[in-house]
Amino acid sequence: MLKAKVCVLVSGGGTNLQAIIDAVKSGIINSAEVSVVVASNPSAYALERAKNNGIPTEVVHKKAMPSQEAFEQAIIDIIEKYEIDFIVLAGFMCILSENFTKRYPERIINVHPSLIPSFCGKGFYGLKVHEAALSYGVKVTGATVHFVNEIPDGGRIIMQKAVDIEDTDTPETLQKRVMENAEWIILPQSVEKVAQSIIELKK
């Protein structure tokens, strides 16, 4: 069976990567395979998760690169080497330039821990998103999977899932619940959806 080849870009613990790996095993993701995991940080635990599941890994250490251009070119070289069909940003803490995103139109997806257009864009990442949601006093938040373009969190939305905010929530408890009840559900579903459309085009 024809499968879309996925490159997952990571920077940290790799919980979203794990959700994708688990979804491949359980059959939620049927049309894609993770061909390589690329970390921007050599100590990212996500690399261990990939190795434990027999997935090839590569490191492109952002801080060791002379420029953004060199950093992105190293990633492009890996994408070409593995003949990748699309890219998933899973806790990837590096902004990609317009030169990079234009190269892969509607071929890069990202999961963001809010309901875009709320609490998104430049500076909104990690706990900051949940702190903003709580300080604003919204009653519902969630996660969004979207295509990546030159505008941070600005690409076309693929899927969203809402999560209720509880009165006792802290940024940490909210982050955990949004991951478990939204991100880890819609990211694998979106990977499958994008993979299916890529396979259709290949036919």
Indicate the helix (H) or strand (E) that contains 80: helix 68-81
In the set 61, 112, 130, 146, the catalytic residue is 112
- 3-class secondary-structure state, position 46: helix
How far apart CA 52 and CA 163 sit, in angstroms, is: 31
> Strands, E, within 15-174: which ranges?
32-39, 57-59, 86-89, 108-112, 140-147, 157-164
- The answer to whether the beta carbons of residues 49 and 21 sit under 8 Å apart is yes
Residue 58 β-bridge partners = 38
Q: Is 112 a catalytic residue?
A: yes
Residues near 24 by beta carbon (within 8 Å), at least 6 away in sequence: 32, 33, 34
Tokens coding 160: 């969203």
Instruction: List the end-to-end C-alpha distance of the chain, in Å, as a whole number.
Output: 12
- 3-class secondary-structure state, position 143: strand
How far apart CA 163 and CA 119 sit, in angstroms, is: 14
Enumerate the active-site residues: 112
